[in-house]
Amino acid sequence: MTPLPQSFACPSPATALFADLSRFAKLTRVSSQRGQTRYYDSFDWRLYQKGICCELTQTKTAAWLTLSQYMDGQTLARADLTPPDNTAPLFTEHCPASLRPLLEPILSMRALLNIGQIACQCHQTTVIDTEDKVLVRLVLEEYQDGLSRLWVAPLKGYEKAARQFVGLLTNQLHLLPYHAGLLPERLTCQPGSYTGKLDLALNPAMRADTACKDIYRQLHGIISANEQGIIHRTDSEFLHDFRVAVRKTRAGISQLNRVLPKRISRHYAGFFAELGRATSPVRDMDVYLLDFDGYKNALPLAIRADLEPLRTFLLTQQAHWQQELATTLASTAYTHTLTDWAQFLQQPTPQALQATHPDAHRPIKQVADQRIGKLYHRALREGKTIRRDSPADNFHTLRKTCKKLRYLMEFFQTLYPTPLFKDLLKKLKNLQAILGTIQDCQVQADYIRQFQAEPFPAPTQLALTALLQLLAERDEQARAAFTDTFAEFTHCDQRQLLAKH
């Protein structure tokens, strides 16, 4: 297998570098073209978090996509793209096969977005021997900001010559590896500037209204950051993060309803509840489409293709509901209400205690203890009544309680720096996974029954029936796992959990 190309940082101009190289090796200039290098990552910086830089360099006649390590410049994968297919892939399935094993586990369903670019002059050169045989191919990307990159591409059968040439660059010319950590000024935004997770550092003694406003401000930032990605249908995770932030906001306002003024709590709890409902149909279609291949492949091979008309139907429904949601997000009512909410969160908290929000002045730790404890005991009560054959609504009620509990625990986890709290949160997530599977099976089975009313061909109707059976089996498996998972969740002393710190 031919080794991957290596890259080195070198000073401009190109003429000086080639003059130095010609003292040690015989070179032949091939071409010189204007080009451009673009940098790509997901909206939530998944590649950056893994230390990977994704670059697409293009000229009129060539293009290559490179994955390298940010800090040391080591090339992880590189693929030439043949024009006119020299545009950046939007999703990993559009990437060259050699890059997918690296990208798919990291990006999953996220799209690659352009996060920066810079113009360059690309000089292609070869190193030849005394018989004019090509030993090594070189590409010098000469950038307008003064820092250039020299690619050394080994050729099959001439790996030793490539190693010798790399030794020349490092030992004689003292070139260092090129790495993207040198280039933050080429990016249009700060790496790691967005995350869908809260980053809170609450003080146990701080006022509850001040702490809650800090939480809601961060959630508002997540909501606002994802709006355009939803409107433009960039990828499904924009809606996921938006929806979670909306639901967390609504849950916080409702569960901590004695912290903010009653009028404010009532108004915005209703607004965020309605906004959450507006996201449900398109999110349901997103989930169905993300899981579609898994469902299809779980069916007998002979009927898998018969399910494809359902995919087309789902895509049509997804487009319809996404347009409905985009219209909502562009509406004056939405933008004005969200702006008013943001302005309220920026207002200083009043000093005078008011009867309409009696928890406002209480230390946030006291309020968190009370609300988390209440939800925890509610979850215990609801869960203890559930049996394997209980109605789906019973599981759903517990799921909603667990979701509210998890949101509050995530809001206030810095107030409980104990292994016990982290252990309970982990067990709660495990329980939610079981409850989520049961709910998903129920919702998707309901959708299939609706789909069966559509004029699908007879083979597709049979495939839908088979899919219903598959969902019933998964539902039964999740119900069977519930008892042990719930028992694990209950093994926690709430008095220790909410002890003073």
Tell me: the pLDDT tens digits for 34-49?
999 999 999 999 999 9
Instruction: Output the pLDDT for position 184.
Output: 64
pLDDT tens-digit readout, 173-206: 999 888 766 566 677 788 888 999 999 999 999 9
Give the lowest-confidence range in 104-118, 267-281, 326-340. Answer: 104-118
Does the structure show a pLDDT above 50 at 57?
A: yes
* Domain annotation covers residue 164: yes
Residue 456's pLDDT band, with cuts at 50, 70 and 90, is: very high
* Domain annotation covers residue 98: yes
Instruction: Output the pLDDT for position 1.
Output: 62
Can you tell me the distance from the alpha carbon of 224 to that of 335, in angstroms, rounded to the nearest whole number?
10
Instruction: Output the pLDDT for position 190.
Output: 82
Mean per-residue pLDDT over the chain, rounded: 92
The average pLDDT across 414-418 equals: 88
pLDDT tens-digit readout, 469-498: 999 999 999 999 999 999 999 987 655 665
Can you tell me the distance from the alpha carbon of 275 to that of 270, in angstroms, rounded to the nearest whole number?
9
Largest CA distance in the chain: 93
The average pLDDT across 366-376 equals: 95
For residues 222 and 324, state if they share a domain: yes
For residues 180 and 212, state if they share a domain: no
Residue 501's pLDDT band, with cuts at 50, 70 and 90, is: very low
CB-CB contact of 125 with 27 (8 Å): yes
Instruction: Output the pLDDT for position 81.
Output: 86
Does the structure show a pLDDT above 60 at 86?
A: no
Identify the CATH number of the domain in which residue 223 sits.
1.40.20.10
Total of domains in the chain: 2
* Domain annotation covers residue 499: no
For residues 177 and 258, state if they share a domain: no
For residues 331 and 449, state if they share a domain: yes
Residue 82's pLDDT band, with cuts at 50, 70 and 90, is: confident
CB atoms within 10 A of CB 158: 19
Can you tell me the distance from the alpha carbon of 228 to that of 239, in angstroms, rounded to the nearest whole number?
10
Return the SS3 of 183. coil
Does the structure show a pLDDT above 90 at 312?
A: yes
Domain that holds residue 113: 6-186
The average pLDDT across 251-274 equals: 96
For residues 170 and 226, state if they share a domain: no
Instruction: Output the pLDDT for position 152.
Output: 93
Residue 253's pLDDT band, with cuts at 50, 70 and 90, is: very high
Q: Which tokens belong to 177?
A: 């590896």
